[in-house]
Structure 1
Amino acid sequence: MNTNLIKSSFLTVSKILFFSVILQFLFLQVNAQTKNKMLEGEFQKFLEHEWMKGASVSFHVKSIKGNKFEYGYDAERALTPASITKLLTTSAGLFQLGEDFRFKTKISYTGDFKDGVLDGNLIIHGGGDPTLTLLSLDSAVKASFPSLKEIKGGIIADASLYGTRTTPPNWVWEDLGNYYGVGAASLNINDNMFKLYLKTGATGAVASINKVEPHPPYLHITSEVTAGKKGTGDNSFLFSAPYSDRHIIRGTLPPHRSNFRVKGGVTDPDYHAVWLLADTLSSQGIVVSKENLKVEYQKENVPTSKVAGEINSKPLSWIINRTNKKSINLYAESIAKYVSNEKTRSIVADSITSTLLNELSTIGVTTDGIYLEDGSGLSPFDAFSASHMTSVLEKIYSAPQYKTFYNSLAVTGISGTLKYFCRNNQAKGKVHGKSGSMRRVRSYAGYIKTNGGDELAFTIIVNNFSCKSKVVRKAMEPLFDVLVK
């Protein structure tokens, strides 16, 4: 073969490849500039809304595949983020505990078990599992004590893992009696939730309580909630405090409803768990004294006992998936609390939040300027910027835990808290992320796969708008339509 011909062909191919790379680079540059210009135009429209006067926005989006695209507006401004805080907590949980980690609830007893009779105490050792159900606890007790007929002693909740520190100190009173404001205890049961059914009348009339499920004797609820105007939704709040046996429901509910359901939060989860267990066993014909129930918050007060069984939760990957897709505060707080206890043997608020930040710093995140008061984002005192969160998302993208984390995120127009977001534009199915919402706060963070094959990390946080939250959500959608192009 002609040597000169080979050299000539090689040079031709090299030139073609070189110019292809140059053209691709120029295309990406032009595409980034075009997208920046389009995004700037849509973002200015967003800022010009009347309800954005006096509002604050922190917005940051950038390519995480090494391309040149990046856009920011007040990206360093720390604002109240709401539930996108859960992305920090769930990622820290993955780094510290691993995706296969399972919470454990142990069962033990004192005395002897013979012929279906437990001549001693049944002890349930809380392991901080936020997903424990009454069904699984009941089944585990039956498996540990076959043909159980009677418990002559009492049922003890070992709450020594966390003691009485269930609720972050900087949550507001308006949230504490509601299902989303329950504390994370050593022993949780059925999401620490009860259901309240009310009958509403004409506008302005006080609603009456039909029933409470479950309704233990220590749960006392007073209705001060009234019927609102026609067309209004659930604007009610349950007010209570940790370890209180009183709830007051206030606000408004839709008028003329015969059995309207409101979800409330149990304020003493450890005791509630053993009461529900005792009540269930009793309903099945097993002799149990409901008057002989106890919670021990100090390890030294828990009787020496013999192990009978154990309940393992589903893996952390499943729990994180539920946490991020459904935005469950109890799950996020339980992860944060467990991580802190594992690392520092402390669950005081400052230890929990500093542990979360330390876990993030191990993957190269600069945590200066991130202020956390909890693990779920329910506290209005949490604060960080859009650039903080995009930095976290960028670091996670390069971590081994990325796939599990990514799969836990909701998808626009399809699933979780993003099911109704961008369901009618090009961003449907292209954004994996988490939403956040509380009074005068709306936020989104996550990843975008563009039509051109790029991948972006984004965060937008808006505070103090003067319209309904759904109006802000709708006004944000054109931004994501541009970003996926």
Structure 2
Amino acid sequence: MALSHAERSDQPKKACWTPGCSWKRCLKYMKSVSIIIVFAFGFTGIPSAQEVQGLKALRSDLESIISDSSFSNAFIGIEVKDLKSGEILFAYNQDKDFVPASNMKLLTTSTALSILGENYQYHTYLMANGYVLDDTLFGDLYIVGSGDPTISGRFTNGDVVKVFKGWADTLKLLNVKVVKGNVIGDDRVFDNVPVGGGWGLAWHEDVYWYAAYISGLSFNDNCVDVTLKPGKQGAPASYTLDPSTSYVTVVNESRTTDDTVSTVDFYRDPATNVIHIYGNYPKTLDSMKVSLTIYNPTLYTATVLFETLNSAGIKLTGRPFDISGYRSISRVPPYNLMWTIASYTSPPLSEIVKVVNKRSQNFYAEQIFRTLGKEKYGIGTFENARKVEMSFLYSIGVDTTKIEINDGSGLSSWDLVTPHAIVKILEAMRKSPVWESFYSSLPVAGVDGTLEFRMKGTRAQGNVRGKTGFIENVRSLSGYLTTLDGDPIAFSIFVNHYTVPTSAVNALQDMICTRLCNFSYK
């Protein structure tokens, strides 16, 4: 059958083994094939023998690191991706689920920056439902919460009640010296579930800052700061509270001794604000500061504002309330019928996420997580927040069928994430309009945050930016680095169920990161 002109023109020229082919025609054919090969392969990243050897050496080294017999009983998952070429440089159990610990904060902060925006701010209002006559306000004061985690000393040079002092000054400018009413905290932007699912804390762990309650109205990270100093020999250690408040009752069972190591510990009676201090405090130890959680953050906030107003010379005839315990909520007037006395606006979200990721601050992460639900569905419940986060992750290509989200901070042992999912998030964020805010929120190896003392003196120092994670028998590290060739890398390293010291797991992760920073195809 005769071929059409078009079909004939697409047929290859005859090669030299074809009868009747001249050497000139063969040479012309070979040149054309060479050009085709260059275009087909030379510009599409087919690695040279040297590049193949470099990658082979990298994979061999990483396999050797994770094959250490000390980790034979542990579960390890890793994915390393070259964000320039898109090549997976190394993968091991990358599609298996692991407990991520604080790597969950990568999900929370990436979603929040992308959905809420890096310039998002919280607004908390002080409102009144009465009127001022002469120097007296006849009516109640309402603190209307927005889920803001930042009303504390963190952004006010350590003055934890600076915002409340400012509100007192505003009342004075209005010539208010007496308030014939109560101070009521309104936390209804969130539900009343104060912890994440699967927070399997030991019997007294809920007193420590990392387990602070979630609330629509919060103050000082929902903690009281306790500073200890030695007392007289054999006597209890002395202590001060910040803020100085009657909301907390301290039972001091500590003792000042000649010991060189402190055995002081703390616990809070369940569903109360009775905090016990016990153990031996060395007389040679100058001071020790700890942040301890309180029960009912909303009432705590209202109480400290009440006390701050009194200290400023404003007399209140009522008392502080949590709105859920104030008479009948149905009797609370609508806020559009009240007047605003003062307000507080938080720093932008770009600054707030730095606290979340660099310090690995659980309370901030949980507040931001619930805020996602509040902004999308009107109330900050766990389920609403989860729906928003899952939707975002799905939109950037994460397989959400392989993820379990039970909180925003990673304190839950029920959370499950794959290394591949984390790398997918890191890759998407590098292309995001909020990339700079996300990237700058991550700790820098050997420089700051939770990586301040790791990878010092190596090429990873100042290079690796990553989020750490830790709960019992779980250690994670995920983030970014740059290779010796200048190529950007996203990586995720999970280690679960290990029984060696956590310092040994840190060393394993640091070795992997350092090897990647020294990787070159050349």
- What is the CA–CA distance in structure 1 between the aligned matches of 2:112 and 2:247, rounded to whole Å? 35
* Matched residue SS, 2:500: coil
Cα gap change, 1:286 to 1:131, in 2 (>3 Å) = same
Deviations 1:342-382 (A, max 9, x none): 22345443333233212221222221111111000011221
Gaps in structure 1 of 5+ consecutive residues: 1-10
User: Displacement, 1:315?
Assistant: 0.8
1:268 corresponding residue in structure 2: 296
Candidates 69, 77, 81, aligned match of 1:58: 77
User: Displacement, 1:464?
Assistant: 2.2
1:284 corresponding residue in structure 2: 312
| Match status 1:448 vs 2:481 | yes
- What is the CA–CA distance in structure 1 between the aligned matches of 2:135 and 2:50, rounded to whole Å? 78
| Match status 1:157 vs 2:177 | no
1:74 corresponding residue in structure 2: 93
User: Displacement, 1:81?
Assistant: 1.0
Matched length: 469
Candidates 31, 43, 48, aligned match of 2:51: 31
Matches within 5 A, 1:222-233: 222=251
Gaps in structure 2 of 5+ consecutive residues: 1-30, 153-160
Amino acid corresponding to residue 116 of structure 2 in structure 1: L
Confirm or deny: 8 A CA contact 1:173 1:240 kept in the other structure. Answer: no
User: Displacement, 1:156?
Assistant: 1.2
Candidates 208, 212, 215, aligned match of 2:241: 212
| Match status 1:168 vs 2:188 | no
Amino acid corresponding to residue 169 of structure 2 in structure 1: K
RMSD value over aligned CA atoms? 3.3
- What is the CA–CA distance in structure 2 between the aligned matches of 1:259 and 1:387, rounded to whole Å? 45
Cα gap change, 1:327 to 1:226, in 2 (>3 Å) = farther
Confirm or deny: 8 A CA contact 2:95 2:418 kept in the other structure. Answer: yes
Matches within 5 A, 1:48-447: 48-50=68-70, 52-133=71-152, 134-143=161-170, 146=173, 147-174=175-202, 175-198=205-228, 208=237, 210-222=239-251, 236=265, 238-239=267-268, 241=270, 243-248=271-276, 257=285, 259-289=287-317, 292-297=319-324, 300-304=330-334, 305-447=338-480
Cα gap change, 1:47 to 1:250, in 2 (>3 Å) = farther
Cα gap change, 1:224 to 1:34, in 2 (>3 Å) = farther
Amino acid corresponding to residue 82 of structure 1 in structure 2: A
TM-score by length of 1: 0.86
Confirm or deny: 8 A CA contact 2:247 2:300 kept in the other structure. Answer: no
- What is the CA–CA distance in structure 2 between the aligned matches of 1:39 and 1:229, rounded to whole Å? 53
State which drifts further: 464-473 or 96-105. 464-473
State which drifts further: 291-300 or 78-87. 291-300
Amino acid corresponding to residue 373 of structure 1 in structure 2: N
Amino acid corresponding to residue 463 of structure 1 in structure 2: N
- What is the CA–CA distance in structure 1 between the aligned matches of 2:428 and 2:112, rounded to whole Å? 15
Confirm or deny: 8 A CA contact 1:28 1:67 kept in the other structure. Answer: no
Deviations 1:87-122 (A, max 9, x none): 100111112211111111012112212444322211
Confirm or deny: 8 A CA contact 1:413 1:428 kept in the other structure. Answer: yes
User: Displacement, 1:248?
Assistant: 4.3
* Matched residue SS, 2:84: coil
Deviations 1:153-191 (A, max 9, x none): 111112222242222242134332211111121211122
- What is the CA–CA distance in structure 1 between the aligned matches of 2:431 and 2:348, rounded to whole Å? 23
Confirm or deny: 8 A CA contact 1:32 1:69 kept in the other structure. Answer: no
Amino acid corresponding to residue 100 of structure 1 in structure 2: N
Confirm or deny: 8 A CA contact 1:237 1:250 kept in the other structure. Answer: yes
Cα gap change, 1:360 to 1:217, in 2 (>3 Å) = same
* Matched residue SS, 1:410: coil
- What is the CA–CA distance in structure 2 between the aligned matches of 1:252 and 1:81, rounded to whole Å? 35
- What is the CA–CA distance in structure 2 between the aligned matches of 1:388 and 1:29, rounded to whole Å? 31
Amino acid corresponding to residue 150 of structure 2 in structure 1: T
User: Displacement, 1:44?
Assistant: 2.2
- What is the CA–CA distance in structure 2 between the aligned matches of 1:246 and 1:415, rounded to whole Å? 35
- What is the CA–CA distance in structure 2 between the aligned matches of 1:473 and 1:354, rounded to whole Å? 33
Confirm or deny: 8 A CA contact 1:155 1:292 kept in the other structure. Answer: yes
- What is the CA–CA distance in structure 2 between the aligned matches of 1:228 and 1:436, rounded to whole Å? 36
Confirm or deny: 8 A CA contact 1:33 1:69 kept in the other structure. Answer: no
State which drifts further: 454-463 or 258-267. 258-267
Cα gap change, 1:218 to 1:310, in 2 (>3 Å) = closer
Confirm or deny: 8 A CA contact 1:81 1:461 kept in the other structure. Answer: yes
Cα gap change, 1:364 to 1:24, in 2 (>3 Å) = closer
| Match status 1:45 vs 2:75 | no
- What is the CA–CA distance in structure 2 between the aligned matches of 1:89 and 1:447, rounded to whole Å? 17
State which drifts further: 245-254 or 296-305. 245-254
- What is the CA–CA distance in structure 1 between the aligned matches of 2:498 and 2:292, rounded to whole Å? 28
Cα gap change, 1:32 to 1:325, in 2 (>3 Å) = farther
Deviations 1:423-446 (A, max 9, x none): 211111111121111222211111
* Matched residue SS, 1:272: helix
State which drifts further: 58-67 or 468-477. 468-477
Amino acid corresponding to residue 192 of structure 1 in structure 2: N
Cα gap change, 1:280 to 1:34, in 2 (>3 Å) = same
Amino acid corresponding to residue 447 of structure 1 in structure 2: Y
Mark the structure with the bigger radius of gyration. Answer: 2
Matches within 5 A, 1:2-13: none
User: Displacement, 1:299?
Assistant: 5.8
- What is the CA–CA distance in structure 1 between the aligned matches of 2:292 and 2:169, rounded to whole Å? 29
- What is the CA–CA distance in structure 2 between the aligned matches of 1:220 and 1:184, rounded to whole Å? 21
